[in-house]
Amino acid sequence: MTDVEIAPQEVDQMRKSGVDLVLIDVREQWEYDTARIEGSTLIPMRQVPQRAGEIPVGKPVVVHCHHGGRSLQVVRWLRQNGVEARNLTGGIDRWALEIDPNVPRY
């Protein structure tokens, strides 16, 4: 794991301890409608450049997708543009397996 990646357990612990983090979901609308992590904000990957201004500065930013590939690309782009974002390792699928079994897997 690198400083770009963050494990689901670490995100869960941050949330439980009251850390005000920003969770960005870069999947498509149909995926978000199928399964989502509570409190996440949907900004589909292709919309990130136009909507990057919606991502608050000064808070931890965690980006996720289904398995982590798209979100890693978005994290790299955000970091190149001054946002210290991290990628949720394994995406929402790993979140469903390890943190919240109520999140549907697809």
* Residues that are catalytic: 65
Residue 106 near residue 32, CB atoms below 8 Å:
no
Length of the chain: 106
User: Locate tokens 């409190």: which residue?
Assistant: 39
Residue type, 50: Q
